[in-house]
Amino acid sequence: MKPAPVLQLPEHLHPETTLALFEFFSEMTDFVWKKYETELVDQILREEINSTPRAQAEIEYFDDIEF
């Protein structure tokens, strides 16, 4: 998957505004998932198949192994 864009919110939001934003994005997430579930799953699987597993990407092959 592509990295999430950097999002910024104002430091201080009124609790009502914060809740409204949370509810809006939650509903949008549900809407997008219901409408595009098959396409999203296909895309997620394609990206996982074509990416290097995180654990393998972080291995340093020339480390000395201490016993």
Q: Where are the domains of the chain?
A: 15-49
Q: For the segment 9-36, what is each residue's pLDDT rounded down to a tens digit?
A: 888 999 999 999 999 999 999 999 999 9
pLDDT at residue 24, as a whole number: 96
The pTM of this model reads 0.56
Whether 53 and 7 have beta carbons less than 8 Å apart is answered as: no
Cβ-Cβ contacts under 8 Å for 47 (sequence gap 6 or more): 1
- Token readout for 37 is 């579930």
